[in-house]
Structure 1
């Protein structure tokens, strides 16, 4: 037989052989807000030059077929195609099955230990029975016989109680073993749809090649949340960023590198295109439909693509723009099981400039409210999310953290401060009618607030007071502030609030046991024939 004929026979034999199964290892998962990108690695070895077909699986049925990619990491090999097959997996030795097997083994070991304990008890009962047979030796001494029989009775009752307790534990453990056996049997017999990836390869030289498999999978998501911890003495605030990861993809992510991204891969990157809009009369024939489709959607588009949605509908789904993408690597290797449970991972302690302050609105509340004025100094954007607020180890409630770039500021409310008391009074409220030579009437009102920090407070605190003054919506009514003591803040932010919203602000430091009084008021003037009404919403 010539060498060329022998080579042809080898090639035909290889082409007719079943694909070679290949195990893959889950290496990295990038979780997006709506899905996840899974990366697996695997190796294929060949001792000859030529074609070799391998099958990689099982892969979850939720893996998106159009997203599957195979990249060669090393080796003289070429991937000649990619085919996906649906299959049914039963009895796969996945991490859940291995865990069920381990739990069964532990339950069986505990049952054997109880059985050994019961055997030891039975041996002691046999010894006690042998002792009863020797009671004849005390027959001539009634006192010693009574003492001996009392000891036998006491030991016998103790052994009976111990036996009842051991048998109760054995019954519970036997039931647990049966439960673990049922769970393992269910895992082994569980039939589930999966996908297998068939890869025809061509080796240019014998050796081992390494590959990376990537695919998108649905039913996976993550969202940021924040933990805001306030010191029990109300003197400091710390905030950490936490990721809440969910996945029901059908495969457990065991010991993987986990990367969290704000990207939305299900959305397109192009800006929306302007649609063509027109009126037309109803059509009845297929040629006219094809012509209208070409006119509406451009040349080269047939009626089938318009009706079925394979062209136009697909482009409409992708008409969104993309924004700034932030990546958050989770340290170490992590595991996230497929199921309803939420996995939580702490991402970072956030670099913040935090200034605790007490916020007071005397006319509304007799309490002061603890707030944290925050300036964010991180490099990556702080994406919006829920924040849980803790005082020491106690959960106070939830707040919302907005989108923040480096240098942005926000204020987080932390609840009432029990060490601060506010006493508000209306000290003036009257209408002054015009005099003899005037037709202008006035409403004059004055207020005062005494703000006191309890002596039990650990240190002096910063107080911010705000009050909103009435503003006129009618040029015939003029409102001006009065009785402002001390003078309100006059920085750029305070002036903007005052001019745009009528909000006046005071800020001062208050020591433990100290009280600070603030007074303010306003005067509304108008023609005596008018009767303006104060509206408060």
Structure 2
């Protein structure tokens, strides 16, 4: 389905602007490229047309217009003209009932606030009057005067007026509190159902020259900020199959709605500099090692992250991880995105493929047993890094993270931990030195206690893949040896990165203990071990 350009008769004297609907949008990381199309009935000669309204956020220098080649017409001038129309203090007849109700509440609130101030001033004055009467009574009693009837009458009158005005003040404050609550509810209803009309509106002024009268198709394009997108996914695990839905979260507050547009999503960073970085001098010098350096070898233990797929992650990098290459995705059907600034979830692709799962645990990193699902990317396009909603047979089970994955590449997705498993890790280390060879031997023993807590009536074994790492030496002066005779049981496999793996089968309510023993042997020249 495609959006066809609308046909409009254009005259230079027409007071009403010609509508130019949005037909296609290319959404970038922090902006959007908007395309518009309309069919104009041009008259012969030079004429100026007013098109719009368009978003007032449109970038002027990116505005571009094209006319169809089959019509002899040329674009002479093109510009964006913005007009500012401030809203009046009183709602107009076209405003909604909520806006009129809000105006009525504000007027009543202003009246009540003025009345509250007057009542408060009257109470303050009566308070000072009561203090003056009491002072007069004290001075008169001290001078021997006795006017009890007058003093009682004046005090009663002041107290009666104070009670009357205090009651009126309490009534006004109660009404103000009720108005605050009603105004808050009305304001929230307005925020959910409508938005403030734009005070700044843009129009495109187009000057064209046509040799003959006739219809011509006009295409406008420009960049606009306040629009962005991010990838999102939904993974549904059903036994040995997994369904992955790729979606796009789109936000836009450009001042206009996108209705039934062709949406393209791109990771291109048009605002980033494209120049290569400047090269700085890096001088390398050679020198002879000293006698002390020749006698010793400094070593240290360091942590290395094993990277398998995708680019090396960069800390603090904003935006979408696209592997260093601009990626382009397209929505399969026309979409509509309101300009309300809220997140709108739009479908991109969906596929179902076979999946294998295992219950894995790395006790050195976490004592939790996690269900890891592996499958191939059959979407036909790259999977950008983003959040994944995880759904199993029991329903929504949590949210995970999907890393950058090329088309056809394997994917690993964690579906959360198991509450019915527990792993406890214990590590011991002993150090000794051989007298003749002067070699230092460090023996490390790691014990992993794996337990399964099963519900009554649960049957069948469950295999838990336990992984523990062994140091890998990069220098010949340090040797690492796995003591298989002391391991219980012997690891099922040890890869080149030193990751030892056991497939531990646990029956319902079962417990197993895995023991790993390895040695680090270093010569006397090694320091820092």
TM-score tier, shorter chain, comes to 0.5 to 0.7
Determine if the alignment matches structure 1 residue 355 to structure 2 residue 356. Answer: yes
Instruction: Tell me, in whole angstroms, the C-alpha distance in 2 between the residues paired with 1:227 and 1:198.
Output: 45
Task: Identify the match of residue 491 of structure 2 among 474, 488, 492.
Answer: 488
Cα shift readout 1:134-168 (whole Å, capped 9, x = no counterpart): xxxxxxxxxxxxxxxxxxxxxxxxxxxxxxxxxxx
Structure 2 SS opposite 1:21: coil
Offset, 1:415 = 3.1
Aligned to 2:404: 403
**Cα distance in 2 for residues equivalent to 1:69 and 1:243:** 28
Offset at residue 344 of structure 1 (A): 2.0
* Alignment CA distance shift 1:55-1:460 (3 Å): farther
Contact 1:25 1:41 in 2 (8 A): yes
> Which residue pairs with 1:213 in the alignment?
220
Mapping for residues 257-406 of structure 1, pairs under 5 Å = 257-267=262-272, 272=276, 323-329=325-331, 331-339=333-341, 341-350=342-351, 354-362=355-363, 366-389=367-390, 392-394=394-396, 396-399=398-401, 401-406=402-407
Give the helix-richer structure, 1 or 2.
Answer: 1
Is the 1:259–1:328 Cα contact (8 Å) retained in structure 2?
yes
Structure 2 match to 1:164: none
Distance 2:224 2:30 in 1: 9
Q: Is the 8 A contact 1:75 1:208 kept in 2?
A: no
Contact 1:445 1:522 in 2 (8 A): yes
1:197 maps to which of 201, 204, 212: 204
Instruction: Report how far residue 253 of structure 1 moved.
Output: 2.0
Q: Distance in 2 between matches of 1:30 and 1:43?
A: 22
Listed one character per residue, the Cα deviations across residues 188-228 of structure 1 (whole Å, up to 9, x for unaligned) are: 99562233212223344443333222111112111112334
Other-structure match for 1:465 = 466
Residue pair 1:229, 1:237 contacting (<8 A) in 2 also: yes
Deviation at 1:496, TM superposition (A): 1.8
How far, CA to CA, are the matches of 1:365 and 1:179 in structure 2? 49
Partner deviation per Cα, 1:475-507 (whole Å, 9 max, x = no partner): 7765421134544344xxx53212xxxx21234
Q: Distance in 2 between matches of 1:267 and 1:525?
A: 51
Matched, 1:86 2:87: no
Alignment correspondent of 2:28: 32
Distance 1:384 1:276 in 2: 33
Counterpart residue number, 1:303: none
Could you tell me how far 1:451 is from its partner in structure 2? 3.6
Cα distance in structure 2, aligned partners of 1:486 and 1:384: 38
TM-score (norm 2): 0.59
TM-score by length of 1: 0.58
Instruction: Please name the residue that 2:313 is paired with.
Output: none
Distance in 1, matches of 2:268 and 2:195, equals 38
SS in 1 for 2:261: strand
Alpha-carbon deviation of 1:254?
Answer: 3.0
Distance 1:416 1:406 in 2: 28
Distance in 2 (CA, whole Å) between partners of 1:366 and 1:322 is 35
Aligned 8 A contact 1:53 1:198 in 2? yes
- Is the deviation greater in 407-416 or in 33-42? 407-416
Cα 1:530/1:205, change in 2 over 3 Å:
closer
Mean CA deviation greater in 324-333 or 503-512 = 503-512
3-state SS in 2 of match to 1:323:
coil
Displacement of 1:32: 0.9
- In the alignment, structure 1 segments of 5+ residues that lack a partner are 1-13, 108-170, 278-320
CA-CA distance at 1:20 after TM superposition: 6.7
Q: Of residues 24, 44, 67 in structure 2, which corresponds to 1:49?
A: 44
Q: CA deviation at 1:322?
A: 8.2
Q: Distance in 2 between matches of 1:368 and 1:236?
A: 21
Q: Would you say 1:504 and 2:504 are equivalent positions?
A: no
Look up the SS of the partner of 1:496 in the other structure.
Answer: coil
Going from structure 1 to structure 2, the CA distance change for 1:389 and 1:273 (only over 3 Å counts) comes to closer
2:17 matched to 1:21? yes
Q: Which residue of 1 aligns with 2:66?
A: 71
Is the alpha carbon distance of 1:64 and 1:513 closer, same or farther for their aligned partners in structure 2, counting shifts above 3 Å?
Answer: same
1:61 and 2:56 equivalent? yes
From the superposition, tell whether residues 461 and 271 of structure 1 become closer, same or farther in structure 2 (CA, over 3 Å): farther
Cα distance between partner residues in 2 of 1:376 and 1:32: 24
Any stretches of 5+ residues in structure 2 without a counterpart? 1-9, 103-177, 282-322
Q: Output the CA distance in 1 between the equivalents of 2:12 and 2:365.
A: 84
1:182-193 matches, within 5 Å, as: 192-193=199-200
Checking the alignment, whether the CA contact within 8 Å between 1:91 and 1:188 is kept in structure 2 is no
